[in-house]
Amino acid sequence: MRDLASAAAITWREPAQGQIGEWDYHIVFSADGPAFIELIQAPAGGPWGDTTRPRFHHLGYWTSDLAAGTTRLTGSGFPETFSGCPYGRSFAYHHLDSIGAHIELVDLSRQPSFLETWQPDGTPMPAIIEGSK
């Protein structure tokens, strides 16, 4: 947070603690957006893989239908590497070798709670409408 605040004049919301499955983590989002920068601090071996050093992990997108988006990405050769669905969280990570990182799809139904927590005065953000071209 400190480095990005200094280097890119980014301001941050207050960090929050979370847990998914057996993994505890800290999360924070930039205050100005969209687009948002998300930082996650977590133990190695969980949904974020090797966390022993800082690195870029994913780009996140809202989707109108998480299951359809997951099918679309998997069918395009981008394997699902983690799903939050078994933990009651409607998101999934898919790896894209071409960028050396992941795409995160988040079900649009979660957007109101995201805005309430991270950007209370924010307006709805666009989503990928699955099944459209």
Domain of residue 100, residue span: 2-118
**Residue 126 maps to a domain:** no
**Residue 70 maps to a domain:** yes
Query: Which percentage of the chain shows pLDDT scores above 70?
Result: 99
Q: What is the pLDDT of residue 132?
A: 72
Sequence-distant contacts of 27-30: CB under 8 A, at least 24 apart: 28/1, 29/118, 29/119, 30/4
The whole-angstrom separation of Cα 43 and Cα 21 is: 12
Q: What is the pLDDT of residue 133?
A: 61
Q: What is the pLDDT of residue 88?
A: 97
Domain count of the fold of the chain: 1
**Residue 131 maps to a domain:** no
Sequence-distant contacts of 107-112: CB under 8 A, at least 24 apart: 107/62, 107/63, 107/65, 107/66, 108/62, 108/63, 108/64, 111/62
- pTM value surpassing 0.85: yes
**Residue 97 maps to a domain:** yes
**Residue 29 maps to a domain:** yes
Sign of torsion over alpha carbons 5, 38, 51, 72:
negative
Q: For residue 31, which amino acid is it?
A: A
**Residue 130 maps to a domain:** no
The whole-angstrom separation of Cα 52 and Cα 124 is: 35
**Residue 129 maps to a domain:** no
- Average pLDDT for runs of 10 along the chain of length 133: 96 97 97 95 94 95 98 98 98 97 98 97 96 74
CATH number of the structural domain spanning residue 19:
3.10.180.10
The whole-angstrom separation of Cα 107 and Cα 71 is: 14
